[in-house]
A and B are shown apart, each in its own frame.
Chain A
């Protein structure tokens, strides 16, 4: 065996476990569900998967004629449009705060802000359901300043804001850490030079920090949109998609369809989500590239 062949073989041997796992649990299911989305497969067929009919794009047209799905798509959009900017602003603000002042308590705050990320969603749900009760803590606090708070989780107008608030609280930890890393990589002398030139802190932040954070921002934006488009856990544990479908998301819709045994419909809904994620990520790359 030539040296070259031997090296190639060794390289493949090292890659093989990953390739095998990725093919089995990554590629295969993706192709499977893609093929499911164009067949009439249901729970009845699970022992005889070769007996299903090809239905083309029927599930997709059916989806876009289903008011519940359209509502779910709208809800998902709502969640993404409000949730992502909110998360990014809070994450960046806290990262900047952590990066500058409060040197002593830095460790404490980093842990405190990150804790929601690693806490079980079920535990979070129990606590937040109490907070959101009509006479719960949030409304009690609002009452102090004279605001009569809504019945958060039972009011279709307020259920989504309530879940967004909870999701942002739960998810800003990782973007914050990424921003923190980005901030720490900005050379101190640039900011120093700006100060010598008489720039205010605000000016320095806008003209130096923000532009240099652009790659970081892109990463955060893409990660968040992938995560937030799959909005699922909050409605699952808090509202079961209600009241009046106001918190049903595309993921939740697909989950329900799987539960009904409508594997074809469920896969089609999932692929609508895949398309949306791909589109949004592409858009973000475009926007941030253009400016970079």
Chain B
């Protein structure tokens, strides 16, 4: 059951190789150019095969149709792939050399994919990286070269029950100091829990590491060679997280599965949660449009000693080395990375544009909810950009769970995280 195609393809020859040669890894990886070969400006042609995940995979054909209109003779073939386990699918494709031309990539995974050598470097001059949100660009580089083009971004802000806040006579918190008292006031209005926080489910780190950032922590040193979790700032952040649970504002058993929290929020048993722009639609289906209009408030995260940093995620586009239509794929991506197309895509999918200037027109410019996320994006940051980050996040999730459930203290957890993260290394 564990012998995936990767394994099969991979190590078929390996057994033989080991027997014959007893080979060794070459110590220095060859130095590489910072960008891929440029592409021309002629219209794209031929067939372009792309993988896209989740809702994006279902909606992308509509966008691709517009691209085909602008580039007669081009055919974009979209395969929708589920987010679940898509990383294994991509790695399998890279290992076997049987890839599509381009794929959407989750921001967390780009470094890991690039490290396999299976991705093409972004051609020089393809896009101007300075027009994207900084947080989005941060996760496209690997070992000094760009491997992906940001497409959409997402970040999280504070959702709270406006009606409860009004009844309690409190206004949304702007700082850490106001955070707890605000939530306590909502609890007095009948909510069992003030704020829903993740407590160990996969991805818990995306809810907890921002507390560390807000306190001024950097979880990795400047040149990306070591993790730095064992710092006073990180401790401050983790203690702040722990304080919500210790003072019974947050449950030690946070939501495990998707769709668990919305009914509680609608019922008023949980008064606040931290989530992204997609949450609006989820709350609409759980409580109706009028519930969202009348009872839901959205504000940027309250600021800690340093900032109100949130986690930034999103989707990027990458092209495979084994692409059959490299030029066409990059042209499609260049087209998708223009402000107009990003706006069109927002209208189609609700995904937030990764290009800042795309926000200057239409609903993106005027909508009050979107303005909150726009503000939040300014301080949002991604996780460190290393091949081992996914593995480190598993350690984080496990240790944060111990803190949430009171099995471990914030100090002990950070020491353990530091020890394990150092052992895992940054892949540099």
Contact = CB atoms under 8 A, between A and B. Distances in A.
Interface of A: 24-25, 28-36, 38-41, 43-54, 68, 129, 151, 153-154, 230, 232, 239-240, 242-245, 251, 254-256, 258-263, 266-267, 270
Contact of A51 (B12, B25, B118, B398): B25
A260 B14 contact: no
A116 B256 CA distance: 24
A129 to B, nearest CB: 7
Given A36-B11, A47-B95, A244-B402, A255 B115 contact: no
Nearest to A248: B398
7 contacts: A39-B18, A41-B14, A43-B115, A46-B116, A53-B25, A260-B390, A260-B394
Top 6 nearest A-B pairs (CB, nearest first) are A29-B3, A32-B11, A35-B15, A260-B391, A46-B95, A154-B253
A258 B12 contact: no
A176 to B, nearest CB: 24
B14 A258 contact: no
Contact of B7 (A33, A52, A129, A239): A33
B405 to A, nearest CB: 7
A180 B347 CA distance: 60
B250 interface: no
Contacts of A31: 15
A43 B1 CA distance: 18
Given A44-B116, A53-B25, A258-B4, A36 B387 contact: no
Nearest to A273: B2
Contact of A47 (B3, B117, B407): B117
A232 B24 CA distance: 35
A258 B2 contact: yes
Interface centre among A25, A53, A154 (most CB of B within 10 A): A154
Nearest to A29: B3
B23 interface: yes
A183 B34 CA distance: 72
A99 B253 CA distance: 46
Nearest to B94: A46
Interface in B375-396: 387-388, 390-391, 394
Given A44-B115, A53-B25, A261-B91, A244 B405 contact: yes
Given A32-B3, A44-B115, A261-B91, 6 more contacts: A35-B15, A46-B95, A254-B2, A261-B112, A263-B10, A267-B7
B17 A44 contact: no
Given A35-B18, A243-B405, A259 B11 contact: no
Interface in B198-235: 200-202
A255 B87 CA distance: 13
Contacts of B188: none
Nearest to B16: A35
Interface string B401-413: 1100101000000
B192 to A, nearest CB: 12
Contacts of B88: 258-259
Interface in B289-315: none
B26 interface: yes
B8 interface: yes
Contacts, number: 138
Contacts of A255: 2
A245 B398 contact: yes
Given A240-B256, A243-B401, A258-B88, A29 B18 contact: no
Contacts of A270: 2
A53 B387 CA distance: 19
Given A52-B25, A54-B22, A32 B200 contact: no
A49 B14 contact: yes
Contact of A35 (B11, B256, B401, B427): B11
> B24, B116, B402, B427 — which one has the most chain A CB atoms within 10 A of its CB?
B116
A163 to B, nearest CB: 14
B247 interface: no
B64 interface: no
Given A43-B91, A259-B390, A242 B11 contact: no
A248 B402 CA distance: 15
Contacts of A36: 7, 10-11, 14
Contacts of B171: none
B13 interface: yes
B69 interface: no
B6 interface: yes
Given A44-B387, A54-B22, A49 B13 contact: yes
Contacts of B116: 43-47
Contact of B14 (A50, A232, A256): A50
Nearest to B322: A47
A24 B5 CA distance: 11
Contacts of A40: 25
A256 B397 CA distance: 13
A154 B87 CA distance: 28
A41 B11 CA distance: 9
B257 interface: yes
A171 to B, nearest CB: 16
Residue of A45, A48, A50, A261 with highest tally of chain B CB at under 10 A: A261
| Residue of B10, B23, B200 contacting most chain A CB atoms (<10 Å) | B10
B201 to A, nearest CB: 7
Nearest to B321: A47
